[in-house]
Structure 1
Amino acid sequence: MNKAFFCKRIIDLYRTIASTMPVLLKYFFLLLLFLLTSSIKAQESKEKELNDLLRLFAANSTKSPQKAAEYANQMLALSIEYQLPLHTAKAHYALGNLAFKQGDFDSTIFQIRKAINYLEELEIEKGRSACYNLLAVSYKNQGKLAEAMQNFEICLQYANKTGNQKSVANAYQNISLVYFQQQKYVDAAKNLDRALAEYTSIDDYAGIISTKFNFANIMKEQGKYEKARQFYKEVLEFHQKEGNEIKEAHVGINMAQILLEEEKYEEALPQLLATKQKLETLNLEADLGLVLNDLGICMQKLARNDEAIQYFQEALLYIEENPDVYYNTELYQNLYSLYAEKGQYKIALQFLEKKVSQNEKQNSLEIEKHVASLQEQYETRLKEAQITLLEKEKSLKEVELENAAISLKKQQMTRNILFIGFLIVLTALIIIRYFYKEKIRYQQKLARKQEEINLQKTIELKKDFRLRTIEQYQEGQQQERSRIAREIHDGIGSELAGLKLAFEQYLGRESENKESQRILTGIRNACHDLRAVSHKLHPPAFAQTGFCDFLEDFINQNSKASGIDIQAIFFPREAIDALQEDLLADVYRILQELINNIIKHSKATSSELQLTLHDSYLNIVVTDDGIGIQKDASIKGIGLRNIKERLLSRNGSLEIDSSEQGTITNIDIDIVKSTEKNETKV
């Protein structure tokens, strides 16, 4: 029940009992009503104020991040003061989003965790998918890929649970960035394809553009610069129209890096300078350090060393704030080289020492792992040596015992010879028996295998016989249809055509007569119907008319005759028309049967037919909005049985999905095997 409706019910209740209520109670009830409505209006006013601040934040988040931060902090303070936890969660999410854009991922994680806590307390699932998505991206940017994938999984769970396709698409896109970071570009592209499909299904053009930006990044890393540049230009045009300066700056960074990779330093320089100015205006320090480093490289390649040193020095300021930046080693190396060229060896040495220190820092973990591995190998080998030593000591003791027992063994030798001989003979018999049983088992296994092979051959022969029977039946059916069609066309059709011609000549000599005109119209209709029946029984060669055109004419005739709106889609038309004549004849018979079933049984008002030719198969999809197919119809129907037999001979498949809202029939025909089969016949 909403607030306005609740107030109306209170007023109606007051009017109902006012006549019977004492005066004091009447005024008390009126005061209570006034306080209640005032409280509701005050609550609505507070919510409106917070929603206005949220709109102001959204309007300034891309153009003026500082103003956006002020609005978000103001919203956070007021929502806590007004005790509106849902708006508090929104404020924390807004602050986390802003921190993410500025590269402060620790703050992003802190703020998003706060927002999730409020949503969990309120038991609200809507919005959690967006929170977990941003949380996962922050972990990804920190290099914590395991935590990132875990939060992406939670994000997808909530997105699918709440039916939020946009969050699903965002999650897939960000998962692709994890694979991109691992240089697994194939897996990254697969997830981008999933994201693109989701964005397309909800007509989210901004999401589509974001996906194309990530596709461009993959192409850039793979060295496909021209394709990457095309995507970047499309993305840049979109963000320029939207006025999203942050995204414009990110595109500018990547396009400038392509020019650097192509050694087009004169072209890269103005773009880098423009991007630098935009980043300074937006106060995006994390990206600004990267652009300054690229500017230094560009100036160094253009032999403008003093300016290169200046840009590298500016980039150093951002490395000091974020020492984990991946390009810091390269930056120290460039400054070392430039100062060495200028003869300032003392400064050059300082940067060389920083480079070495950074390399040592980056390699320390690998060294520790290597040392741990060596230590483990050393301890393992030490244990192995100790075990070997113990075994040698044991062997020496055994030798001493054997020497002591030699005399005893000599005494026992004579009586043991017979016993040992007996054991040898017994062992030989056991071995012979074992190999004999193994031979018998192997022969039995071989016999079973041969039986299975024979059974499989028998099944294949039965299948081949059935296929040949079906093919012969269909060929005989086709020949009989052709014969009947020729008899109709050459016999009755010719006589009826002659009768029509003679009657037309007769009418030309006589005055117009309505009854005569009606007879002539009937004769013409009979000619037209006879020709249609002849074509249905045996259609003309598709190579003469074009299969798609012939099928469209057939569909239009049936659509007009039945009153059902039947639409047809062929792709690609030329390739479908070029298929083999016998294959197209089977396709025509199958579609003829399906359309007749729709007209006779479906009670549909509209239907659609799609023919799509792929590399190895032809896909047919027929849909209608009728009453569906009964459960036993697919078993008992002669038409469907004929379709299945045709598909069996073509190595095709049939799927029918039917409900009270209509029927979808999906057919795949293997054109490769159909071609081989036709060549074999020839």
Structure 2
Amino acid sequence: MSFNKSLPSTSKVVVIILICLFAISSLCAQNKIDKAFDSIITSKILTKKKVMNLLTFAGRNRYVPATKKFIIKALEISGKEDEHKKLLLANSYYALGNYHFFHSQIDSSLVALDLADENLSENDLVLKATIMTTRGGIYNKVGDVSLAITTQLNAKQILEKVDTLTLDFKERIKRRGNISTITNSLANLYLKIDDYDNALINYENAFKLTKALKNKPNAAIILSNKGELLNKMKKFEEALKVSKQAKQLKIEAKLPERFIAISNFHIGVAYKNLDSTALALSYFNQVLTQSREKNYKRGEMMALSERGLINFELNKIKEAKEDCTIALEIAEKTNDNDIKIKSCDCLYKVENSLGNHKAALQKYERFTQLKDSVFNEKNIRNITKIGMQYEFDKKEAQQKLIIEEKNRQRNRLISSFIVLSVIALLIVIFYRKRLKYQRKITEQEQTLKNQEIVKLQQENRITAINSMIDGQEKERARIANDLHDGLGGLLSSVKSHFLATQEDKTENKPTIKKTELLIDQACNEVRRISHNMMPHALVISGLKDGIKDITERLEIENYDVTLEINQLPKLDATQEVMVYRLIQEIVANIKRHADAKSIFIQLYAHLTTVHLMVEDDGKGFDLSKIKDKKGLGLQSIESRVAYLNGVIDWDTAVGKGTTININFPT
């Protein structure tokens, strides 16, 4: 039958329109990718940043085949780079391995990851752990779940041991993101081996980490995975609630349609087990439509296998057979044992009900064979896991013995060298002692005098600074009180008297309203100046709330602020004011000069030292030029540090951002 005869004219138009829309959509998507590629390549930025931009775009669109050219271009540019060649090649090969992994090209992925390892720096622990994470995913895909879990745990351990003080702001965020990704992967692996308790713990931890990072797409995926777990745990009411939340989060995060299909499938499974057959069928039909539109085979076979079982229960034998047959065909191609088992079970029931006992027996034999295979696979995984742990412990013990022996040999050599050096030194000292003795005494006396002079000068300078700062703070407090109690109260009285005199006047109302507004603005300005000079939160609630008050004001001004205060001892009132003023002055400088978007403030104590770090992602500056100018802001900061008997370290350069580290005794 020809196409023209088989379809009515309206249907033909609909099909043609759908084909045209699909073609236009594909063309638009390709144009968007091409524009992004051209934009990055033609941008006048540093080579390192250009490569990382290419890799970032490819990572965000890793399911799109066309993005591979971004990675190939990054590799081409990295190979020509001199300063950062190894670093860029390691990142580029990792991106290529990750791309092949998500496209199920396992051999190509392993080759690329090996090349990434070859170019990897020993100190780049974050990238090392990231590469291990993808390897863990590969081991999972090829069926070695035990090795996958071990690899992911090792990767997580590496990330957790990283000294975050050695990382900049973006690297710290990346590290936390990688930990959340690994935690989610571990949950998926525990789910695969039916370790539901560990799976649930890891999903919940991963969701908390991702939510803290405000990563809505990853949070949605983790919540969706948790919905699948709750279905397997037979907590269907909770699974339904979580899966619906995950679906809404995916829609808000604008995730691709196949992710929405997964949530629809989990919702359908929950409804099926809650005996809401009509709703379950509705959701499975949605999954089928979404999966077929996007050529998502896994979603298609999952929905078909579940719909086939429902059709069988509804005595729709023909539909059940058709659904489960197609599901089995896809499962055979993708080697999905779970769907194979479910489809064979469905087809066994179908053939049996049709009286096709021979065909039913074949499906039953296939069903039991697959069941046994899965059972044996799980046993093998457990045995392999135990064996691997034994081998790992054994190798670790051997390595420890080798290291201890090497340390002993090294210590013996060092001891011998020290003894010989001491003997040689004593001989030299013996022959030169008399000649140097008088000169040494003279030099020591002169050094002591110089030290006393310097110490006295420093003490005088610190005394002057202390007096100046004490005076400033007292004057601030006096002016703040005068402004608040005197001028603030006076303005309030002026407003009251003004309103009282204008109550019966109907003319000049716009002028009256304008005057009233100006008086209100003056009152607010007095309160703001008074608060800045002697903050209410600092006086009433202490340093921690005072700093929080600063960060809240920054967030109102659209800055991305992270505040960490840990193990802070009780400081005296003067120290608290000094620390508050330091942070206030630094933040003021950032707002005036840095053009920053993110600010990180960390305050904690270790033993008898308080550490303050303020970091921004602004444009940075040339410290030597700024110090030569001796600006008031810089002098004020350094004076307050001196008042605290502290030390300050500036880490900045043009285009790099700024990190200020201040240490002072409690």
TM superposition score category, shorter chain reference: 0.3 to 0.5
Larger radius of gyration: 1
The TM-score with structure 2 as length reference comes to 0.46
